């Protein structure tokens, strides 16, 4: 049995669903453009630089969910998928996932982006399992707070190992473990798997991958 792990933003997607969700809400007039667009760009640059404070970002990202009923958010997300997400889903990424699924591998999208935004995206790629940062829900509605450990940096390893344990698995349950990512923020998990693969990597990850002899691919 093999395990195939996929980062989502700028890996399977040719863009960032976190960033684009906030931009979508701005464009729909749900969020104030001047305030939220500037902060969205600021957090995105921090993420790319590897110095994002995940809790500050999640406070920014999850608060809008708490201001609207879940059924309204679900309608907006359908439009978000059509307008923003599907254009970022390239043929090469779809073929990569299909190849792992066809081989019978256990496939997991593992992402720092919240699971409200990413669950339908993983489903569209045909990936059954998703490990994302979970927004807190009370009585079916979002509170604007995070639930549990964010799936970010070392948190991805913690969340993944908990997910494995829930299924009676551990690292030794798999003959091969592969992780695809573009980001320096995923160096902890990339260093944990047997087959780390850098996908259209940022400069820091590319340099590290070249030094370590990791495979580098492009899905663009």
Domain that holds residue 24: 2-217
Q: Could you say which DSSP state residue 34 is in?
A: I
User: Which residues participate in catalysis according to the annotation?
Assistant: 7, 9
Reply yes or no on whether the pLDDT at 35 is more than 80: no
Calculate mean pLDDT across residues 67-73.
93
pLDDT digits (tens, 9 = 90+) for 118-149: 999 999 999 999 999 999 999 999 999 999 99
Q: What is the pLDDT at residue 58? A: 80
Reply yes or no on whether the pLDDT at 196 is more than 90: yes
- The span from the CA of 174 to the CA of 89, in Å, is 28
- CATH at residue 61: 3.40.50.1000
- The span from the CA of 66 to the CA of 36, in Å, is 16
**How many domains does one find in the chain?**
1
Low-confidence winner among 38-42, 91-95, 151-155, 208-212 (lowest mean pLDDT): 38-42
């Amino acid at each position: 049995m093999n395990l195939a792990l996929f980062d989502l933003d700028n890996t399977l997607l040719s863009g960032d669903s976190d960033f684009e969700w906030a931009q979508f809400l701005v464009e729909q007039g749900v969020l104030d453009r001047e305030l939220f667009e500037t902060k969205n760009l600021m957090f995105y640059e921090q993420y790319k630089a590897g110095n994002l404070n995940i809790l500050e970002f999640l406070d920014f990202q999850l608060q809008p969910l708490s201001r609207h009923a879940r059924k309204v958010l679900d309608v907006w997300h359908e439009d978000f998928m059509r307008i923003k997400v599907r254009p970022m889903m390239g043929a090469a990424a779809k073929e990569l996932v299909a190849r792992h699924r066809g081989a019978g591998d256990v496939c997991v999208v593992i992402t720092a982006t919240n699971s409200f935004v990413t669950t339908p995206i993983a489903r569209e790629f045909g990936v059954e399992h998703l490990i994302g940062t979970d927004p807190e829900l009370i009585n079916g509605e979002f509170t604007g707070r995070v639930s549990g450990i964010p799936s970010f940096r070392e948190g991805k390893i913690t969340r993944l190992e908990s997910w494995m344990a829930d299924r009676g698995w551990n690292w030794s349950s798999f003959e091969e473990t592969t992780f695809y990512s573009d980001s320096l923020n995923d160096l902890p998990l990339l260093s944990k798997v047997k087959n780390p693969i850098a996908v259209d990597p940022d400069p820091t990850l590319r340099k590290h991958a070249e030094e370590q002899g990791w495979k580098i691919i492009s899905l663009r």
